[in-house]
Amino acid sequence: MIADQNSAQKEIRKYLLIFVVLLSLTLMNVFVSRLHLNISLTIIIVLSVAAFEASLVACQLMHLISEEKLIYSFLVLTVIFFVFALFIPLWGIFNPITGSTHVP
Amino acid sequence: MQEIPYTVAVRQDTGLYNAKMGIWLFLASEVMLFGGLFSAYVLLRVGAGEHWPLGATYLNVAIGTFNTFVLMSSSITMLMAWASLKMKNFGHFKMYQGITIALALLFLSVKGYEYSMKFKHHHFPSDNTFLAIYFTLTGIHALHIIGGVVVNSYLWGPGSKMWQAEPERFTNRIEVAGLYWHFVDLVWIFLFSVMYLL
């Protein structure tokens, strides 16, 4: 957080560094996608890098790392519901209604 | 007239001023919105198996990368606008906030160009599930950008008068608008990865 002129300059330097890191990671992701690796490996690498970029944005740019515990508690709840929502459709595929067929 | 409490001072029970509490609750609901859409993407992709096209088949990765840079830059300029207010430099705030809005408009213009090229080549959402989910996800994201532009423009223009009377409250407003803007950037990082690169 910014308390005085000196800490403000430090924060701004930090933001600029994060900006450079984000740009570099994006370019790295584009490069990896162009390597024509095995699709599963590409998905793992690209999504891992994207998740790291997102965590940088959330923790540093949105200051989540120094936020109140209350925010963490309802964000954790949100993540639980998000993961649940993500897997609901897959249950439908792997546990079909008897007699129905799955058409891709 | 009674004033609205906790616009600047933090509440003892939450440790936050009300607007910050509100925006985080709103962002949590936004996570669920985009979570549902990404869930639909996973379902469609898993269901299609090997028939799912590479993003680069339909989309221009160079344009997508450029737009990612534009949005990331706007996220940084938004932070600089907030930091300028913290340093009591209203002139710099005006400059950085103006750049943020300009970058957002550039993002929307590039997105509009991409859409127009798709339509020119007769690629429509009804063609296949890839294009359907692409237009849905990027369209809803673009609507969020438009919403952000409206709010940021108000805070840059008429809303900035508050700086004279209530500087701390105005700084908090910019912080809250910034949190929303970073979230929109965060969503784009995943959107770009799954739609353009995979």
C-alpha to C-alpha distance for A61 and A63, rounded to whole angstroms: 5
Please state the rounded mean pLDDT for residues A58-77: 91
Give the residue with greater pLDDT, A90 vs B168.
B168
pLDDT computed for residue A67 by the predictor? 87
More confident residue, B42 or B106: B106
Domain map (residue ranges) of chain B: 37-46+58-197
CB contact under 8 A, A58 and B186: yes
Alpha-carbon distances, residue A92 vs B3, B122, B164, B190 (angstroms): 52, 33, 57, 25
And the tokens for A57? 């944005």
Average pLDDT over residues A66-90: 85
At B55 the pLDDT is 84
Q: Using an 8 Å CB-CB cutoff, list chain A residues near B66.
A: none
pLDDT at position A4: 67
For residues B3 and A43, give the distance between their C-alpha atoms in angstroms, rounded to a whole number.
Answer: 52
Inter-chain residue contact A74 with B194, CB threshold 8 Å: no
Residue numbers of B between 9 and 28 with CB closer than 8 Å to A: 14-16, 21, 24-25, 28
Q: Burial level of B8, CB count in 10 A (0-12/13-18/19+)?
A: middle
Which pLDDT score, from 0 to 100, does residue B125 have? 93
Best of B34, B57, B193 to substitute, by most chain A Cβ atoms within 10 angstroms, is B193
Q: What's residue A10's pLDDT?
A: 86
Question: For A29, which of B43, B51, B193 is closest by C-beta distance?
Answer: B193
- The beta-carbon neighbor of B16 closest among A46, A70, A92 is A70
Average pLDDT, chain A: 86
Separation CA B57–CA A89 (nearest Å): 26
pLDDT attached to residue A86: 76
**B133-192 per-position pLDDT tens digit:** 999 999 999 999 999 999 999 999 999 999 999 999 999 999 999 999 999 999 999 999
- CB distance from B128 to chain A under 8 Å? no
pTM of the model: 0.92
CB contact under 8 A, A57 and B189: yes
- Chain B residues touching A57 at Cβ < 8 A: 75, 182, 185-186, 189
How far is B197 from chain A, CA to nearest CA, in Å?
Answer: 6
In order of A48, A55, A64, B121, the CA distances from A76 in angstroms are: 20, 14, 12, 43
The answer on pLDDT for A21 being more than 70 is yes
What ipTM, to 2 d.p.?
Answer: 0.90
CATH 1.20.120.80 fits B37-46+58-197, yes or no: yes
